[in-house]
């Protein structure tokens, strides 16, 4: 028996289940295995040369110690934790909180809440930000802000930081700042690092060589998780377990390699959208986290040698059973260009019985005496069966239960699969050059020095945009 607890079921993506036109033949998998093995061997060699640093995080005891010490320092007396960050500096925090804290964590009172209320501000929406600051009100005294930015220069996070710092200064005084701000940023460089050095804020490092979307298992994701009572040690041990599995040279026993192989094979066959559909509220934001990981890592215009390629599957998130009533019509009868990735939970941490009662009409009698968990899982099986009957390829990642260990496994599984898929597409999964232009144009619009060269382009486009309107 393998050591990891998650199971990847892929029988319903193969030809015997959905036919040869849309399903993969076992011979196709066999043919692809040597290529995947080559990528695995290269990745493992590169790891010994200091690349793919996110894979070292699960074993980094020093980092764990540092985060736990920071949690111990800041936890007493803190009622609200506000994370300021965006993209890879926020999505992991949200995903961990939804997966591993009770669903209504922020509404729980007194000792029932295992830590402060958590708010992750991953946008600069003025209505959202002003409302949160109003909501905090006098609670500001018991609020800790965790500013997370690896580069230290991201406009959204920087603007939030400036707002919050001034608010704290006005309401609580200059001296209070250091008690209310923890910065997570590059250990050596960047504007935020300079501010930390100058103003003496407590700081945690984003490890060198670990990019935003691969950083959830560093202080970036672990600090807020630890503050909210999540067992970060078990999270890392689950990730370590999956990291071991992801290093196995035998593709058939390596879930990350098999996942990458399957998704790549479907990509080559023209199935270029993935729908991740958790049948669990706890897992819904992990689907959002995966969406960024896959999209930003693998949507690339050039290969590793700089040749034009234009590749990348579009990750989509859905939620079972909710989206059965919203998307499944398209998924079954629309273009057969998608792979479905279900997330299933065998045993929910709590369940609700549907009672037997008097006066229940015959049409609803079948629901009596069963449970919501059973119904939700039946809906998953039924939706999958319906998709299979329409020759749509379906994968399932099965969680025996949702806990810190299995969530750690899931995170590492997708990170490693992303690296392998990057190898199969021959693109660099760790950069995001296309994001740069939008950032620079924002700088130009906001008057940042050094970006005036973009102003003409922006003016021209604004003129054209206005020429046609209704
Ligand atoms: O994955 C990434 O690298 C990005 O999504 C970043 O996390 C995001 O742009 C925020 O960057 P930073 O942490 O530098 O503020």
- How do residues 312-361 score in pLDDT, each as one tens digit? 999 999 999 999 999 999 999 999 999 999 999 999 999 999 999 999 99
Question: If pLDDT is split at 50, 70 and 90, which confidence band does 402 have?
Answer: very high
pLDDT at 273: 98
Among protein residues, the one whose CA lies closest to atom 8 of ligand 1? 87
* Eight-state DSSP code of residue 356: P
Measured in angstroms, how far is the CA atom of residue 57 from the centroid of ligand 1?
Answer: 18
Is residue 170 part of the annotated active site? The answer reads: no
**pLDDT, tens only, 196-229:** 999 999 999 999 999 999 999 999 999 999 999 9
CA distance 213 to 209: 12
CA distance 378 to 75: 41
| Residues 16-40, mean pLDDT to the nearest whole number | 97
Question: If pLDDT is split at 50, 70 and 90, which confidence band does 173 have?
Answer: very high
Q: What pTM did the predictor assign?
A: 0.97
Among protein residues, the one whose CA lies closest to atom 9 of ligand 1? 87
The answer to whether the bond into 321 is cis (omega within 30° of 0) is yes
Question: Would you identify the CATH topology of the domain 7-47+249-425?
Answer: Rossmann fold (3.40.50)
Token code pair at residue 416: 């490693």
Is residue 296 part of the annotated active site? The answer reads: yes
CA distance 74 to 67: 11
Please list the helix, strand and coil fractions of the chain in percent, rounded to the nearest 5, in that order: 55, 15, 30
Question: If pLDDT is split at 50, 70 and 90, which confidence band does 110 have?
Answer: confident
pLDDT at 193: 94
Averaged pLDDT score across all residues of the chain: 96
| Residues 170-178, mean pLDDT to the nearest whole number | 96
Nearest atom of ligand 1 to the alpha carbon of 214: 1
**pLDDT, tens only, 69-97:** 999 999 999 999 999 999 999 999 999 99
Domain ranges for the chain = 7-47+249-425, 55-230
CA distance 136 to 119: 11
Question: CA–CA distance from 47 to each of 33, 44, 54, 201, 416 (Å)?
Answer: 21, 5, 10, 33, 12
Q: Is the pLDDT of residue 111 over 90?
A: no
Query: Would the CATH topology of 7-47+249-425 be identical to that of 55-230?
Result: yes
Ligand 1 is surrounded, with C-beta below 6 A, by: 86-89, 149-151, 154, 157, 211-213, 296, 432
**pLDDT, tens only, 180-189:** 999 999 999 9
Helices 219-227 + 232-246 axis angle, to 10? 140
Nearest atom of ligand 1 to the alpha carbon of 151: 14
Measured in angstroms, how far is the CA atom of residue 273 from the centroid of ligand 1?
Answer: 24
**pLDDT, tens only, 297-311:** 999 999 999 999 999
Is residue 346 part of the annotated active site? The answer reads: no
Q: CATH classification of 55-230 is 3.40.50.10490, yes or no?
A: yes
Question: CA–CA distance from 352 to each of 37, 159, 317, 335, 347 (Å)?
Answer: 45, 44, 26, 37, 12
CA distance 300 to 308: 9
Question: CA–CA distance from 393 to each of 18, 118, 344, 357, 371 (Å)?
Answer: 7, 38, 16, 40, 29
Question: If pLDDT is split at 50, 70 and 90, which confidence band does 2 have?
Answer: low
Measured in angstroms, how far is the CA atom of residue 441 from the centroid of ligand 1?
Answer: 17
From the candidates 142, 171, 302, 439, which is the catalytic residue? 439
- The whole-angstrom distance between residue 7's C-alpha and the CA centroid of its chain comes to 19
């Amino acid at each position: 028996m393998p050591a990891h607890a998650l199971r990847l079921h892929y029988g319903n993506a193969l030809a015997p289940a959905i036919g040869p036109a849309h399903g993969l033949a076992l011979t196709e998998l066999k043919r692809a295995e040597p290529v995947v093995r080559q990528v695995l061997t290269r990745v493992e060699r590169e790891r010994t040369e200091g690349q793919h640093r996110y894979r070292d995080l699960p074993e980094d005891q020093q980092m764990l110690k540092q985060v736990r010490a920071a949690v111990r320092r800041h936890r007493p007396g803190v009622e609200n934790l506000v994370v300021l960050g965006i993209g890879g500096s926020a999505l992991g925090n949200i995903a961990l909180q939804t997966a591993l804290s009770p669903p209504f964590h922020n509404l729980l009172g007194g000792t029932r809440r295992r830590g402060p209320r958590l708010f992750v501000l991953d946008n600069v929406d003025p209505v959202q930000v002003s409302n949160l600051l109003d909501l905090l009100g006098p609670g500001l005294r018991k609020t800790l802000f965790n500013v997370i930015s690896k580069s230290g220069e991201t406009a959204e996070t920087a603007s939030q930081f400036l707002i919050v710092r001034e608010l704290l200064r006005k309401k609580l005084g200059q001296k209070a700042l250091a008690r209310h701000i923890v910065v997570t940023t590059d250990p050596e460089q960047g504007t935020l690092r300079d501010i930390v050095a100058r103003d003496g804020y407590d700081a945690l490092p984003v490890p060198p060589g670990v990019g935003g979307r691969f950083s959830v298992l560093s202080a970036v994701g672990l600090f807020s998780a630890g503050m909210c009572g999540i067992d970060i040690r078990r999270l890392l041990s689950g990730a370590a377990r999956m990291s071991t599995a992801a290093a196995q040279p035998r593709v058939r026993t390596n879930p990350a390699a098999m996942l990458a192989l399957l998704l790549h094979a479907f990509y080559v066959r023209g199935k270029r959208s993935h729908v991740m559909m958790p049948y669990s509220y706890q897992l819904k934001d992990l689907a959002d986290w995966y969406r960024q990981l896959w999209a930003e890592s693998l949507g690339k215009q050039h290969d590793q040698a700089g040749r034009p390629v234009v590749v990348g599957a579009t990750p989509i998130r859905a939620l079972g059973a909710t989206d059965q009533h919203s998307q499944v019509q398209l998924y079954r009868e629309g273009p057969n260009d998608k792979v479905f990735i279900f997330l299933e939970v065998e045993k929910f941490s709590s369940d609700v019985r549907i009672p037997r009662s008097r006066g229940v009409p015959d049409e609803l009698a079948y629901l009596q005496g069963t449970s919501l968990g059973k119904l939700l899982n039946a809906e998953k099986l039924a939706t999958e069966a319906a998709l299979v009957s329409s020759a749509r390829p379906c994968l399932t990642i099965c969680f025996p239960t949702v806990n810190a260990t299995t969530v750690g496994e899931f995170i590492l599984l997708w990170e490693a699969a992303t690296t392998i898929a990057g190898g199969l597409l021959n693109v660099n999964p760790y950069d995001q050059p296309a994001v740069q232009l939008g950032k620079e144009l924002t700088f130009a619009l906001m008057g940042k020095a050094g970006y005036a060269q973009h102003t003409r382009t922006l003016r021209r486009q604004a003129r054209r945009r206005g020429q046609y309107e209704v």
